[in-house]
Structure 1
Amino acid sequence: MSAKPEASIEQEPWQWEEATWRGYAERVRAGRDLTPRAWPGGARMAVALSFDPDHETLSLREGDTSPGAMGRGEFGSRVGSRRILRLLDEHQIPATFFIPAVSALLHPQEVKAYAAAGHEIGAHGWIHERNALLSREDEYELTRRSADVLESLVGQRPIGIRTPSADFSDSTVEILQDLGFKYDSSLMADDMPYEILSNGQSTGLVEVPMEWIRDDAPYFMMTRFGPHRPYTTPRAWVEIMKDEFDSAYADGAVFQLVCHPHIIGHRSRMLVLRELVEHMKAHENVWYATHGEVADYVWRNAGVAA
């Protein structure tokens, strides 16, 4: 990927030449729509649930090492993850867990429990760093180390990643290619899987897009001395998620969800997550899959060998 045009450094955006603003817009772009003609087993739609066990890393990244901050993160592993695993096991739903390496090292048994239950383990950076602000060397090293840690814990190298900042730097595409990743789940150019383009060229990477709309954090985030306060009740959140699912079901599409054990894992929120799962389960012909399974299926069924 190209570096930022020199002309843009000292100019206001309204002063940019077309080559400059077009270059920014086209550095990473949505390519082919990978929606398959049919889903496995004649299913009407696909459901891809994901959980990001960030735990203590969100505070550690900011240098907040207070016991209070660590305790709020620890809740995700000690309580939230177990409640999520029980719910998924009860309904026999596979999920993908995108885990920062530091979180995995702090809670290795948790990561092993996810894998033992048949869930996919995906990469999510080292310490939930803001990868888009890193040098290429640092981003490469942290991404590689994170994949190494997860492989050492579960015996399988991750094929997918959710970048810890839900964004790409100028180097991310090349790093993911160099490290052998098959798919990403960080970008938001569509609500269906697509191929990632870099400067107009095919990358061979599948995007299983996320969206803040289908994420628990924007609705429930709380920072004691910061601006974030929960602004949505759990009951309101689940109605939004049901609408997202119902619309995807009507379209024969993908319903993709992002949750965090330290956020969704509290009692009132687990109640509505359960309600959402039971709502989905009341519908017939739904394919429940990991993000990796969705990425592999849409790639192969879009007519290109994986």
Structure 2
Amino acid sequence: MIDLNIQPPWNWPESHWQGLVDQARAGRAYRPAQWHEGKRCAVAFSFDCDHETNELNDGGKSIARMSWGQYGSRVGVPRILEILARNDVPATFFIPAVSGLLHKEEPRRIVSEGHEVGLHGWIHERNSVLSYETERELMLRSADTLEYLTGTRPVGIRTPSWDFSAHTLRIEQELDLRYDSSLMADEDCYELISYGQETGIVELPVEWIRDDVPYFLMHQPSGSRPHVPPSDVFEIFRSEFDAAYDAGAVFQLTMHPHVIAARSRIWILEELIRHAKAKGDCWFATHAEVAAFAKAHAA
């Protein structure tokens, strides 16, 4: 019997590589002919509130990095919420359960101001290194915790670091989640397919181009120090929005409070809102709202 664990990929039998590919695939596309109330484009802002779990997830103990995480809650989230309130724009906040427990008033305030809270792991763990039993228990524990904190049970998930295991989609089905926002097979919403079977779960896809981290995140231990001028990042995000608007599609954006909320960067969010509102026919909605509408009204 061939041990596939030590075989190079070019020696894998077709059944093996086909099985790997078939674990989670894009099925039918979900793009409505028009969006809610006849709007041309859907705008879905999201914020991953990793906070201190960015350090804790791999067993880290750096006080400096945990203080950086605290900035995300202490400064970033309030600053973001003020902008959203001022512009009457809803958004989705994906929160690791440990972040929620460290800052209990944060998820409560987010929901009280009309925004959505979604799952983002227990302590921002990496799903792909977990057993099915552990991943399922953590996802269930996270859903219970966020429901306890907010009074509302999450209906969607963004896996930590967009890390998707062989068990993730099965567990999402078992927890009766309605959507996922971790994968990248399209720019429009689509149904997730597992081994050729429909799951009923909508994917609202992400993309590194539409994420603030690759442009700004400095990681001292690795020596990675990217810094793209905020004006350049705004131009990239605006170009992504303009293309989505022209296509009558959805513009989804991923941001992190400890990254985007810096004084020199936070204007990007408000300027994007201003730019989209100037079009006159954009629907600003949570990820749950966009996913549900796309599925119900797909052309």
Question: Same-fold call, TM > 0.5?
Answer: yes
User: Which stretch of the first structure deviates more once superposed, 226-235 or 211-220?
Assistant: 226-235
Match runs of 1:215-230 below 5 Å: 215-230=211-226
SS of 1:49's partner is strand
Q: Distance in 1 between the 2:174 and 2:294 partners?
A: 22
Q: Which runs of 5+ in 1 are unaligned?
A: none
CA distance in structure 2 between the partners assigned to 1:155 and 1:6 by the alignment: 51
Which residue pairs with 1:114 in the alignment? 110
Matched position secondary structure for 1:102: helix
**Conserved in 1, the CA contact under 8 Å of 2:49 and 2:93?**
yes
Match of 1:251 among 232, 247, 250: 247
SS of the aligned residue for 1:255 comes to strand
* 1:43-58 to 2 correspondences below 5 Å: 43-58=39-54
Contact 1:7 1:16 in 2 (8 A): no
Letter in 2 for 1:134: L
Contact 2:202 2:291 in 1 (8 A): yes
Q: CA shift at 1:47, angstroms?
A: 0.4
Report how far residue 114 of structure 1 moved: 0.4
Matched, 1:66 2:62: yes
Where 1:266 maps in the other structure, the secondary structure is coil
Please list, as runs of the form range in 1=range in 2, the aligned pairs for 1:104-253 lying within 5 A after superposition.
104-253=100-249
Amino acid of the structure 1 residue aligned with 2:243: S
The aligned residue for residue 15 of structure 2 is: 19
Amino acid at match of 1:234: P
Q: Are residues 6 and 147 of structure 1, via their aligned partners in 2, closer, same or farther at CA, if it must alter by over 3 Å?
A: farther
Query: How far did 1:6 drift?
Result: 7.0
Aligned to 2:296: 300
Greater CA deviation, 17-26 or 257-266? 17-26
Q: Secondary structure at the match of 1:55?
A: coil
SS of the aligned residue for 2:162 comes to coil
Aligned Cα RMSD in Å?
Answer: 1.3
Q: 1:66: Cα distance to partner? A: 2.5
Matched, 1:266 2:262: yes
Give the conservation status (yes or no) of the 8 Å contact 2:58–2:125. Answer: no
Q: Which residue of 2 aligns with 1:275?
A: 271
Name stretches of at least 5 consecutive residues in structure 2 with no aligned partner.
none
Structure 1 position 91 matched with structure 2 position 87: yes
Letter in 2 for 1:193: C
SS at match of 2:264: helix
* Stretches (4+) displaced over 4 A: none
C-alpha contact 2:110 2:116 (8 A) present in aligned 1: yes
Identify if the C-alpha distance between structure 1 residues 7 and 196 changes in structure 2 by more than 3 Å, giving closer, same or farther: farther
Per-residue deviation, 1:25 = 1.3
CA drift of 1:232 comes to 1.0
69, 79, 87: which one aligns with 2:75 = 79
Q: With structure 2 as the length reference, what TM-score do the two structures score?
A: 0.97
Q: CA deviation at 1:225?
A: 2.0
Corresponding letter in the other structure for 2:222: G
Q: Retained in 1: the 8 A contact 2:53–2:69?
A: yes
Does the 8 Å CA contact 1:132/1:168 hold for their aligned counterparts? yes
1:27–1:7: structure 2 CA closer, same or farther, 3 Å change rule?
A: farther
Where 2:253 maps in the other structure, the secondary structure is: strand
Q: Is the 8 A contact 1:131 1:165 kept in 2?
A: no
Change (3 A) 1:43 1:171: same
2:117 counterpart SS class? strand
TM-aligned CA deviation for residue 105 of structure 1: 0.2
Residue 230 of structure 1 deviates from its aligned partner by 2.3
d(CA) in 2 for partners of 1:161, 1:228: 28
Instruction: Normalising by structure 1, report the TM-score.
Output: 0.95
**More displaced, 274-283 or 114-123?**
274-283
Q: Distance in 1 between matches of 2:296 and 2:42?
A: 16
In structure 1, what is the Cα distance between the partners aligned to 2:160 and 2:70?
A: 19
